[in-house]
C-alpha cells in the first residue's frame, strides 16, 4: 500500500509518543497550572466506555494534607508526596456494574497520555487494595470505587523503558499458541 511520506512521519511520531511514556516517580516542585489539568481532564472525557456510560469522576488533589494522606495508603504510593498534583479516577459501580473498572482504566490511560503530550509525567498508584481508605480520605460515597490514582507533575527523572515480554510469547494467530511469524 502506498503511504504518503508526511503521514508516514506522523504515524511514526504518534507511535513514538506512545512508546516514550514512562512511569515517573520523581517530580520537580514546579506548580501545574489548573488550566493544563482541565485540558487533560477534558480529553479524558473522550475515553471509551461500555455503552458510553462514562461512569467516571475525576478528583484533582492539590491540598498537601489530603495528598500526603493518599501517599501513605501503602508503601508504593510515595510518588504522590513529591508530585504537585494527584488525580483520583473513581467510578460509579451502579452505573456500569460489569465494566466500571475497565471504563475507568480507559479514562486513566487517556489522562496519562494527555499529560505526556503536555510534557507532564504520571505514575499510576494502586488503589484497589485500599478502596475504603481512599473513599474516607476523599469523602467518596461507597458506590464510587477509586479505580486509579495518579501522581502528576513535571518529571525530575528520565527512566529507561522497562523490559517488555517478547511479541512471540504473547501474540498468536487465530488460536492460542499459534505463531504469528510467517
Ligand X SMILES: Cc1cc2nc3c(=O)[nH]c(=O)nc-3n(C[C@H](O)[C@H](O)[C@H](O)COP(=O)(O)O)c2cc1C
> Considering the rule CB under 6 A, would residue 125 count as an interface residue with ligand X?
yes
Using the rule CB under 6 A, is 22 a contact of ligand X? yes
Q: Is the dihedral of CA 129, 133, 138, 142 positive or negative?
A: positive
Q: Which is nearer to ligand X, 165 or 175 (CB)?
A: 165
- C-beta of 81: minimal distance to ligand X in Å? 12
If one asks whether residue 39 binds ligand X (CB under 6 A), the answer comes out as no
Q: State the minimum distance, in angstroms, from the CB of residue 43 to ligand X.
A: 19
Is 26 an interacting residue with respect to ligand X (CB under 6 A)? no
Cβ of residue 112: shortest distance to ligand X, in angstroms?
A: 8
CB of 156 to ligand X, least distance (A): 15
Burial call 83-105: b when 16+ CB within 10 Å, e when fewer: bbbbbbbbbbbebbeebbeebbb
Binds ligand X (CB under 6 A): choice among 17, 46, 76, 172 = 76
| Integer angstrom CA distances of residue 98 from 48, 61, 76, 128, 147 | 15, 28, 28, 16, 14
Amino acid at each position: 500500500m502506498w503511504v504518503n511520506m508526511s503521514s508516514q512521519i506522523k504515524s511514526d511520531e504518534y507511535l513514538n509518543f506512545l512508546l516514550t511514556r514512562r512511569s515517573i516517580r520523581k517530580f520537580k516542585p514546579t506548580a501545574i497550572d489548573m488550566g493544563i489539568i482541565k485540558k487533560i481532564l477534558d480529553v479524558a472525557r473522550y475515553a471509551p466506555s461500555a455503552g458510553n456510560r462514562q461512569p467516571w469522576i475525576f478528583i484533582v488533589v492539590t491540598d498537601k494534607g489530603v495528598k500526603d494522606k493518599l501517599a501513605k495508603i501503602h508503601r508504593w504510593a510515595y510518588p504522590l508526596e513529591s508530585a504537585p498534583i494527584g488525580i483520583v479516577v473513581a467510578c460509579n459501580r451502579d452505573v456500569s456494574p460489569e465494566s466500571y473498572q475497565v471504563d475507568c482504566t480507559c479514562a486513566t490511560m487517556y489522562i496519562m497520555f494527555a499529560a505526556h503530550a503536555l510534557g507532564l509525567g504520571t505514575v499510576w498508584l494502586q488503589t484497589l487494595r485500599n478502596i475504603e481508605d481512599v473513599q474516607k480520605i476523599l469523602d467518596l460515597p461507597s458506590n464510587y470505587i477509586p479505580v486509579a490514582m495518579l501522581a502528576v507533575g513535571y518529571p525530575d527523572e528520565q527512566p529507561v523503558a522497562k523490559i517488555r515480554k517478547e511479541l512471540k510469547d504473547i501474540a498468536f494467530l487465530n488460536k492460542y499458541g499459534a505463531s504469528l511469524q510467517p
